[in-house]
Structure 1
């Protein structure tokens, strides 16, 4: 499970335009540390450096300097700024001819007082890094000291593994506004650090970004491995339980939960954060709960501000809503009249679980008869745990209400049914299931827009793009945004679906419900090659 503090992080994103140098494709960032995996160049900058779009707007100004050093914008791999010092920095890379290699470690600095510029070089064998440092103001008169210190921090053929991590790669390449999960996936897969295997950070972040993309072979492979051990453990048991009178399947699951909802004020359901099918079940459950007096939906990691367009889910709501089916879950809740809020604890001075419980209780303080659907990740539903107290246990103690808890994260099995609901008594002793949940759910639902829009007429849509021919053998990311949401929120709008597709004969086609949409098509290099409206029908 991705640690909760990721929800609280402010993402720092380095955008890459279509004019960027190809040398920057393998750039990685972690706060003030930079590394390029292809060039094998690392720079450990001073604090408060800002990395910028890879373009060279000073090319005309320094034409002569570039020419004399046989440089062009194609050699540019990094642009940064130290605003408090009034400095802009441009870094270039060269392979030096063997005949000109005189030393294994050359450092030089050339000062140009007329143009307020320092030009630095650092060479190791045949490989050279050249830097152009421009003073943009009189904020700091010690730019030469800064540059000499910078030279010592440029490392060729050296990676500081303590400075690069999968979490930093995730943060820098999966921003909180209009992310490109295909690009983020590529950066994580090709990261210059080792994965320890299993459910490590690389797996977690790869699964998170790929969960946002349908028809995704990488995601499928990740999940097959993730579920393998549990399926081996539970397959035979679930088959044995299938004929029990108190084991419910498919539509009967909703009938049973309806009975539970009539008699109980709070139901807690958990999810695995990289499972769209878990969000789909939660969405399908909303009507059942609404019919039994539930009017409140409380979500983990969810931000809602009065200044936002609260009637529509958007990227500012939090990292989990980035995934299209989580957004569908929220849309339906709003449409049914639920009051949607977040119970995340942002107070560092209080235990996270206690803070979350108190935030849910605030709903009861305003409306003592409120019936609340609490949706969380993994262990937050635990009412009894030897190692720590979780949200559900704190809530039970403080409110005096025993929430009914349903766990859909622990048990995986190959079943003919989409849904199988079982009481906890079948898992108390013999199976060693580490959960105190009241019910366990096997969820094998298959997310589809036809479930989201059951009454809609679907028709084939064909789009053509001038750049599609460049990607006839490459997958691109097709993001489909409801036009009303796009018109309202622009890049804050979350797609109703995202597909991986390969253009054929300069076209891309797919089925959609009749209506109006806005389509983005993005590449794994983070280029947008299509950005236009589409009417289907």
Structure 2
């Protein structure tokens, strides 16, 4: 049962109103929000075991509770600490601001039943509410705008009914939503997103499930990363068992090409063919590195168009470098290096992603690539995609490459670097299709298969540049002497041009040594961010390496 009490202007509410102002303009002190998870309008805090299923159009704000001495004095009568604040939400449609606090109550105060209480200050349109289950209590402060909602008490009562203590609504929470919320499209913190995904209050199905896919995606953008390495070892294990001995048996064949010979063979293919399609696994920086190294070979053989899956050209054409607005794939440093080199070599870079939600994605992609040929019939195009989009023949469905072949009359040469994993002495091994016609291990119609064991390194990106040891110092690093932090290195010219849209040339994990973090960089000027797994930036400055 909900008890509602109405009072005039009271001492406790005049001070609680002041609390609203203090909270809204201060920095974070509470640690409770670190375990907040969101899916659109559903909220859950894993450590507190509190779930709230809000109405639509709720916006969650960053929790901030500074000026702690003032808070303690103001809230002393209500026994609420600023560190008890775990959630701030707005419902602009209703004209409502809501602040949620959490407390464990003494055993003497335990009520065996769910208890709900609402206390209202009708003059100031402010409500203070409580909901308790056992030792757990959620307290809230609601500020309403009566001009927008004539029945604020109904809103508050309804809200209380939607607060669930010790209950997670699994149908409202997903790894997809956690990824989307914590890995934004502009300058995300992959270390923070990784922690949120890894510690999410959801069961993993195992294998290549949503948790694995999103964890692998966010961790692929951070080098020196033990978690990423362990995920990939598990991901490749079965395929290596299937292919290791086969690749050894084929390694001495005359038409199996290794390392530099791979580029020589593709050069021969490029001379005679108008379209080459290469696929990638979206978790692999090494796949982007191979695509980048292939660009010079293709350019020398008349290729001047690069068409990318999931790539957006921004409306602001002043950017001559990749940026976060280009799409989710470009935020991985080696994908960005791939695009930088294509631009530097004079490729026309475009995206062929289908944006017609009502149409077939594969057909839409094929038609978008066709637009290049409509403008330039003799164009030689390098098409870069994920996984199965290169399939020209598949019993279950038609993929982009098959539609493109039908529309253009051009038989694209397809190279698959996602199917075969094997432990080889060579970095690259290229095998023709004929060696896999009679095996069930390969389910792809590709013309060639690449075993890619490249090891991404910034020294491959800058082969003729001097690297110097660099040290950055900050007292805050000492707080993380036993914990990894994320270091992002951004070319200064790009940062100066695009600020937070600029993509790092390198992102890596490291444990600080006291007040210092050291690493190697090419001679030059950079902007450096150091971030933590609770989404705090503890270093933000320019550095010069000379």
- Coarse TM-score class (shorter-chain normalised): over 0.9
Shift in Å at residue 58 of structure 1?
11
- Equivalent of 2:394, from 377, 382, 385? 385
1:105 is aligned to 114
1:147-296 matches, within 5 Å, as 147-296=156-305
CA separation of 1:64 and 1:145: change in aligned 2, threshold 3 A: farther
Q: Distance in 1 between matches of 2:118 and 2:428?
A: 68
Asked if 1:51 is matched to 2:60, the reply is yes
Deviation at 1:323, TM superposition (A): 0.3
2:102 aligns to what? 93
CA contact (8 A) 2:26 2:65 kept: no
Is the CA contact 2:111–2:132 (under 8 Å) kept in the aligned structure 1? no
Instruction: Tell me the secondary structure at the aligned position of residue 57 of structure 2.
Output: coil
From 90, 93, 113, the equivalent of 1:84 is 93
Equivalent residue in structure 1 for 2:447, among 415, 438, 441: 438
- How many angstroms apart in 1 are the aligned matches of 2:45 and 2:94? 25
> SS of the residue aligned with 1:535?
strand
Q: Where does residue 511 of structure 1 map in the other structure?
A: 520
Task: Check conservation: 1:111, 1:119, Cα contact below 8 A.
Answer: yes
Contact kept, 8 Å, 2:29 with 2:66, in 1: the verdict is: no
Matched, 1:336 2:345: yes
Could you say if the C-alpha distance between residues 287 and 442 of structure 1 is closer, same or farther in structure 2, counting changes exceeding 3 Å? same
Q: How does 1:277-426 map to 2 (within 5 A)?
A: 277-426=286-435
Larger deviation, residues 110-119 vs 523-532? 110-119
**Residue 129 and residue 147 in structure 1: after superposition, are their counterparts in 2 closer, same or farther (change >3 A)?**
same
Contact 2:87 2:100 in 1 (8 A): yes
Paired residue for 1:536? 545
Q: Are 1:182 and 1:523, in contact at CA under 8 Å, matched by a contact in 2? A: yes
User: What is the rounded CA distance, in whole Å, between the counterparts of 2:467 and 2:136 in structure 1?
Assistant: 57
TM superposition shift of 1:65: 6.9
1:465/1:257 CA distance change after superposition, 3 Å: same
Deviation at 1:517, TM superposition (A): 0.3
Is the CA contact (8 Å cut-off) linking 1:107 and 1:151 kept in structure 2? Answer: yes
Are the aligned partners of 1:88 and 1:134 in contact in 2 as well (CA < 8 Å)? Answer: yes
Unaligned residue ranges in structure 2 (runs of 5+): 1-24
Q: 1:397, 1:119 → 2: CA distance? A: 66
For residues 165 and 250 of structure 1, the distance between their equivalents in structure 2, rounded to whole angstroms, comes to 42
TM-score, normalization: structure 2? 0.94
How far is the alpha carbon of 1:73 from its aligned partner? Answer: 1.4
Conserved 8 A contact 1:178-1:491? yes
- Structure 1 unaligned runs (5+)? 1-15
* Structure 2 Cα separation of the partners of residues 269 and 78 of structure 1: 46
Q: Counterparts of 1:320 and 1:201 in 2: how far apart (Å)?
A: 17
| TM-score (ref. length: structure 1) | 0.95
Distance 1:137 1:323, change over 3 A: farther
What is the CA–CA distance in structure 1 between the aligned matches of 2:136 and 2:391, rounded to whole Å? 56
Q: 2:119, 2:343 → 1: CA distance?
A: 62
User: Are the counterparts in 2 of residues 17 and 53 from structure 1 also a CA contact under 8 Å?
Assistant: no
Query: How far, CA to CA, are the matches of 1:17 and 1:355 in structure 2?
Result: 48
Contact 1:20 1:53 in 2 (8 A): no
Which piece of structure 1 moves more, 368-377 or 59-68? Answer: 59-68
Q: What's the offset of the Cα at 1:56?
A: 4.4
Describe the shift of the 1:483–1:26 C-alpha distance in structure 2 as closer, same or farther (beyond 3 A).
Answer: same
SS in 2 for 1:104: strand
Deviation at 1:206, TM superposition (A): 0.3
Q: Which residue of 1 aligns with 2:456?
A: 447
Answer yes or no: is the 8 Å Cα contact 1:379–1:390 preserved in 2: yes
Structure 1 residues 437 and 470, CA, compared in 2 at 3 Å: closer, same or farther?
same
Aligned-pair CA distance for 1:84: 1.1
Distance in 1 between residues matched to 2:119 and 2:51, nearest whole Å: 22
Deviation at 1:62, TM superposition (A): 8.7
**Deviations for 1:78-137, whole angstroms, at most 9, x for unmatched residues?**
000000111100000011111122343110100012322011110001110001000146
Q: Distance in 2 between matches of 1:530 and 1:18?
A: 16
Moved over 6 A (4+): 57-65
Give the alignment's Cα RMSD to 1 decimal: 1.7
How many residue pairs are counted as aligned between the two chains? 523
Residue in structure 2 matched with residue 13 of structure 1 by the alignment: none
Q: Matched residue of 1:396: which SS? A: helix
Deviation at 1:431, TM superposition (A): 4.0
Range moving further from structure 2, 409-418 or 101-110? 101-110
Structure 1 residues 106 and 333: alpha-carbon distance in aligned structure 2, compared to 1, 3 A threshold: same
CA separation in 2, counterparts of 1:28 and 1:59? 25
